[in-house]
A and B are shown apart, each in its own frame.
Chain A
């Protein structure tokens, strides 16, 4: 699993590649929480993500709750395949704002 962080409009975008599991989700957690703690809304780009387990999902939930408390947002972009199935199975696709592509996110 690798990730790249960059600025997109007024958001911080974290693009995840590969598989997120218990082995590497602490890295993702640290990065996501740091983004929100520093006062930024976050977009998590799932376009190149092929797998995410419950520890990764728990990280998203924790970040979402923190962002909400700070009047910020967490948006997921480009989820498909196995990661989308996990979000649907947990009904979290109805909790997190979901977009098909970055083009759908406006300033």
Chain B
């Protein structure tokens, strides 16, 4: 598994713009189309937003983002160091898009090919794993 990116940021909304820039650059190096880069960047932003809003709930903390390339997939790991969340937090609600809440999670599921929570390292925090198939012909 080849690591493409490792970044650590404070869990603060002012950091989101920098995180998006780094995700875009990493996705360009993986030969995704502009359309896919837009959507993957959106999804990582949404995941970071959820960490800031719900995992840390306004408290200070850190977000670690790692991107790996492995056997035809890009693998994104987003780690926080907040209280462990229940897997049910990743369940989609069936509310209308015109109702508040849950939109970020819906976007994550629509764009990514695989979504799961991994057991945290050192028994603290959460690791969200997202996978997206690489464009055909881009794998070496």
The answer to whether A34 has its CB under 8 Å from any CB of chain B is no
The answer to whether A6 has its CB under 8 Å from any CB of chain B is no
Chain A residues near B78 (CB-CB < 8 A): none
Chain A residues near B45 (CB-CB < 8 A): 21, 53
Task: Determine if A90 and B20 form an interchain contact, defined as CB atoms under 8 angstroms apart.
Answer: no
Given known pairs A21-B16, A22-B52, A91-B97, the reply for A54 and B39 (CB within 8 Å) is: no
The answer to whether B111 has its CB under 8 Å from any CB of chain A is yes
Contact of A22 among B53, B97, B100 (CB under 8 A): B53
The bracket for how many chain B residues form the interface is: 20 to 34
Binding site for A on B (CB under 8 A): 13-14, 16-17, 20, 35, 38-39, 41-42, 45-46, 49, 52-53, 97-98, 100, 103-104, 106-107, 110-111
Known pairs A53-B16, A91-B97; list 16 more (Cβ under 8 Å). A19-B20, A21-B16, A21-B49, A22-B13, A22-B49, A22-B52, A51-B42, A54-B103, A61-B97, A64-B98, A81-B38, A85-B35, A85-B38, A85-B42, A86-B42, A95-B98
Binding site for B on A (CB under 8 A): 19, 21-23, 51, 53-55, 57-58, 61-62, 64-65, 81-82, 85-86, 89-92, 95
Supply 5 A–B pairs (Cβ within 8 Å), ascending by A: A51-B20, A55-B49, A85-B35, A85-B38, A85-B42
